[in-house]
Structure 1
Amino acid sequence: MHKIVAAVNSMIANPNLISTVIKSVDGNELFFTYEDRFKWSVTKSDEGHYYLYYYPGNVSIQDLATIPEHKWTSSGDFITYSSKEIKTKEAYESFAELYQIVQGKLYGIDDVLDYIIKTAA
């Protein structure tokens, strides 16, 4: 399980490789690609746990994002990782930071902050 934390930390260290961020049809999950080839999603539960999903296969991120949450049990293959299962401080913090990065990309916050910093100088 610790290999996933190392992989998440690598994604965090290379946020420029995270792209195609799409919010799920239900609005609770953020789908994204890493290096334009690996399909993932990340979400935060009401209890404060983070869940990271990996999607093998040929289904597009756009199609994955349109599947309603209640239909996931019968809708294709995925692998689930969670801060709840891994139960380490590093896993929780890494998953939380990845969630923030992906959410920021969804809303283009880096461009906003760069603009604010640039114009204040």
Structure 2
Amino acid sequence: MSKIVEAVNVMASNKDKIDTVLQGEFESEIFFRYAKKHKWSIIKNDSGEYYLHYYPGKASLEEMASWHPEEWHEFNGMVSYNSKDLGTKEARESLGELYTIVKEKVYGMDSVLQDIISSDDTW
């Protein structure tokens, strides 16, 4: 297993360490921070491939999430991975799970689901 797939699995297994989750200007891109220090974004494209980007620089997630597509053309301060290049079923599934986790965080699904569960008066 590659180190990036292992790291993605750790992030997915420790979703409580994912915070500052922001919807990007590009609708399917979601920016997030892991362990209060590692800045990432993840995208699912129209053909179902996942792209994961790591940002080691000083730009904030809030800044990057607000950039328009033309602003990204001049930016190269990131490390990128994608499910097609990683090429394994495990990589695709792991990136898909991480994408679902951060997407649920964008929409506050933990609170929504907890509200629904606590409304059950059948007990």
Coarse TM-score class (shorter-chain normalised)? over 0.9
1:96 alignment partner, SS class: helix
1:35 partnered with 2:30: no
User: Which deviates the most, 50-59 or 20-29?
Assistant: 20-29
1:12 partnered with 2:12: yes
Whole-Å Cα distance in 1 between the matches of residues 117 and 28 of structure 2? 30
Opposite residue 18 of structure 1, the aligned amino acid is: I
Opposite residue 67 of structure 2, the aligned amino acid is: I
Alignment gaps of 5+ in structure 1: none
User: Displaced runs of 4+ in structure 1, greater than 6 A?
Assistant: none
Aligned pairs, number: 121
The C-alpha deviation readout for 1:3-32, integer Å capped at 9, x for no partner, is: 000000000110001011111123221000
Whole-Å Cα distance in 2 between the matches of residues 42 and 110 of structure 1? 20
Whole-Å Cα distance in 2 between the matches of residues 53 and 69 of structure 1? 15
2:25 alignment partner, SS class: coil
1:112 partnered with 2:105: no
The TM-score with structure 2 as length reference comes to: 0.92
Instruction: Name the structure where helix makes up a greater proportion of residues.
Output: 1
Q: State the superposition RMSD in angstroms.
A: 1.3
Whole-Å Cα distance in 1 between the matches of residues 113 and 65 of structure 2? 27
Residue number in structure 1 paired with 2:73: 73
Percentage of pairs with the same residue: 45
